[in-house]
Chain A
Amino acid sequence: MTEQTVNAPCGFRLNGHDVEIQPGPGERLSSALRERLAARDVKVGCDAGDCGACTILVDGDPVCACLMPVQQVAGRQVETLTGLIADDPVAARLAHSFEAHGAAQCGICTPGMMVAAVALLRGNDTPSEAEVSEALGGVLCRCTGYRKIIEAVMAAGAPPALPVSDGWTGAAIARLDGRDKVTGVEAFGDDVAPADALVLRVIRSPFHRAGFEFDDLDVWLAGMPGIDAVLTAADIRGKNCFGVIPDFVDQPVFAEQECRFRGEAVAAIVGNRDAIDDFDVTKFPVNWQERPAVMNVADAMSGQAALLHQDRAGNVMCTGFVTCGSPETALAQADATVQGQFTTSFVEHAYIEPEAGFAIVRNGRLEIYACTQAPVMDLEGLEEILGMDRKDIRVVPTGVGGGFGSKIDLSVQPYLALAALKTGKPVRIAYSRSESMQSTTKRHPAEITMTIGAMADGRLRGAQFHGLFNTGAYASWGPTVANRVPVHASGPYQLADYRAEASGIHTHCPPSGAFRGFGVPQAAVAQESLFDELADKLGIDRLEFRILNALENGMPTVCGQVFETGVGIKPCLTALRPAWQTERRAAEDFNQANAGIKRGVGIAAGWYGCGNTSLPNPSTIKSGIRPDGTVVLHQGATDIGQGANTVITQIFAQALGVPVSAVQRIGGDTDVTPDAGKTSASRQTFVSGNAARLSGETLRRQVLKLVNAAPDSAIFIAEGVIRISDGQQTHTPDLSGLSADRDGYVIRAEESYDPPTKPLDANGQGVPYAQFGYAAHLAVVEVDLALGTVRPVKFVAAHDVGHAINPLLVEGQVQGGIAQGLGMALMEEYIPGRTENLHDYLIPTIGDVPPIETLIIEEPDAHGPYGAKGLGEHVLIPTAPAVLNAIRDAADVRITHLPATPARVRAKLREAANG
Chain B
Amino acid sequence: MSCVYFAPSKIEEALVLMQTHFPTVVAGGTDIFPAQGTTPMRRSLLDVSRIDGMTGIDRQADGSWRIGAATCWTDIVTADLPPGFAGLQAAGREVGSLQIRNAGTIGGNICNASPAADGVPPLLTLEAEVEIACAGATRMVPLSDFLTGVRQTTLGSDEILVAVHIPAPPPDSVGRFEKLGGRSYLVISITMTATLIGLDEHGCINLARIAVGACSPVARRLAQLETDLIGQRPDQVVVLPAHLKTLSPISDVRADAVYRAEAVAEQIKRAVCKAAIPHD
Contact = CB atoms under 8 A, between A and B. Distances in A.
B4 interface: yes
A48 B43 CA distance: 19
Nearest to B49: A72
A63 B263 contact: no
Given A2-B2, A787-B180, A49 B98 contact: no
A137 B98 contact: yes
Contacts of A846: 184-185
B30 interface: yes
A61 B3 contact: no
Contacts of B190: 902-903
A848 B184 contact: yes
A62 B99 contact: yes
Interface string A833-873: 01101011011111110000000000000000000000000
B188 to A, nearest CB: 6
Contacts of A591: none
B37 A52 contact: no
B4 A116 contact: no
A61 B74 contact: yes
B263 A787 contact: yes
A47 B4 CA distance: 22
Given A4-B2, A71-B5, A844 B97 contact: no
A138 B4 contact: no
A829 B254 CA distance: 10
B255 interface: yes
Contact of B39 (A74, A280, A829): A280
Contact of B100 (A5, A64, A279, A901): A64
Contacts of B266: 786-787
Interface string B24-50: 001011100110111111011101010
B255 A138 contact: no
Contacts of B186: 50, 52, 137-138, 140, 839, 845
A2 B44 CA distance: 14
Contacts of B39: 280, 282
Interface residues of B, number: 49
Contact of A138 (B40, B96, B259): B96
A839 B188 contact: yes
Interface string A900-912: 0111001100100
A138 B185 contact: yes
A116 B185 contact: no
Given A69-B26, A72-B49, A903-B256, A847 B33 contact: no
B99 A49 contact: yes
Contacts of A58: 102
A707 to B, nearest CB: 61
B100 A4 contact: no
B259 A64 contact: no
A486 interface: no
Contacts of B40: 26, 277-280
B34 A49 contact: yes
Contacts of A139: 97
A28 interface: yes
Interface centre among A116, A138, A140, A282 (most CB of B within 10 A): A138
A62 B100 contact: no
A298 interface: no
Contacts of B141: none
B48 to A, nearest CB: 11
Contacts of B2: 1-2, 4-5
A394 to B, nearest CB: 30
B178 to A, nearest CB: 10
Contact of A25 (B45, B103, B180): B45
B253 interface: yes
A49 B74 contact: no
Contacts of A829: 253
Contacts of B7: 71-72, 74
Interface string A125-158: 0000000011101111000000000000000000
A868 B37 CA distance: 46
Nearest to A55: B99
Max count, chain B CB within 10 A of own CB: residue among A5, A64, A840? A64
Residue among B45, B180, B263 facing the most chain A CB atoms (10 A cut-off): B263
A831 B254 CA distance: 12
A483 to B, nearest CB: 32
A49 B3 contact: no
A346 to B, nearest CB: 12
B182 interface: yes
Contacts of A844: 183
A1 B256 CA distance: 53
A826 B184 CA distance: 12
Contacts of B187: 839, 842
Contacts of A282: 39
A684 B45 CA distance: 51
Contact of A67 (B30, B38, B44, B258): B30
Contact of A68 (B3, B96, B103, B188): B103
Contact of B34 (A47, A55, A281, A901): A47
A67 B34 contact: yes
Given A49-B30, A71-B47, A901-B255, A64 B99 contact: yes
B4 A901 contact: no
B183 A827 contact: yes
Nearest to B185: A137
B103 A63 contact: yes
A137 B97 contact: yes
A224 to B, nearest CB: 14
A276 to B, nearest CB: 9
Contacts of B13: none
A840 B253 contact: yes
B98 A901 contact: no
B99 A845 contact: no
A26 B98 contact: no
Nearest to A827: B182
A788 interface: yes
A898 B7 CA distance: 48
B200 interface: no
A77 interface: no
Contact of A848 (B38, B183, B188): B183
A839 B184 CA distance: 12
Contact of A847 (B29, B30, B183, B259): B183
B37 A67 contact: no
Contacts of B52: none
A905 to B, nearest CB: 9
A72 B103 CA distance: 10
A902 B263 contact: yes
B255 A902 contact: yes
A142 B21 CA distance: 44
B54 to A, nearest CB: 14
A72 B182 contact: no
Most buried by A among B2, B5, B188: B5
B98 A281 contact: no
Nearest to A5: B2
B5 A8 contact: yes
B100 A906 contact: no
A135 B185 CA distance: 10
Contacts of B5: 7-8, 23-26, 69, 71
Given A28-B33, A72-B49, A138 B182 contact: no
12 contacts: A5-B3, A28-B33, A72-B49, A74-B7, A137-B98, A787-B266, A826-B182, A826-B183, A837-B34, A903-B255, A906-B259, A906-B263
Given A67-B100, A72-B49, A829-B253, 5 more contacts: A58-B102, A64-B99, A280-B40, A432-B38, A840-B253
Interface of A: 1-2, 4-5, 7-8, 23-26, 28, 47-50, 52, 55, 58, 61-64, 66-69, 71-72, 74, 116, 133-135, 137-140, 277-282, 432, 434, 786-789, 826-827, 829, 831, 834-835, 837, 839-840, 842-848, 901-903, 906-907, 910
Closest 10 CB pairs of A and B: A138-B97, A26-B41, A847-B184, A137-B185, A48-B34, A5-B2, A903-B259, A903-B255, A25-B5, A845-B185
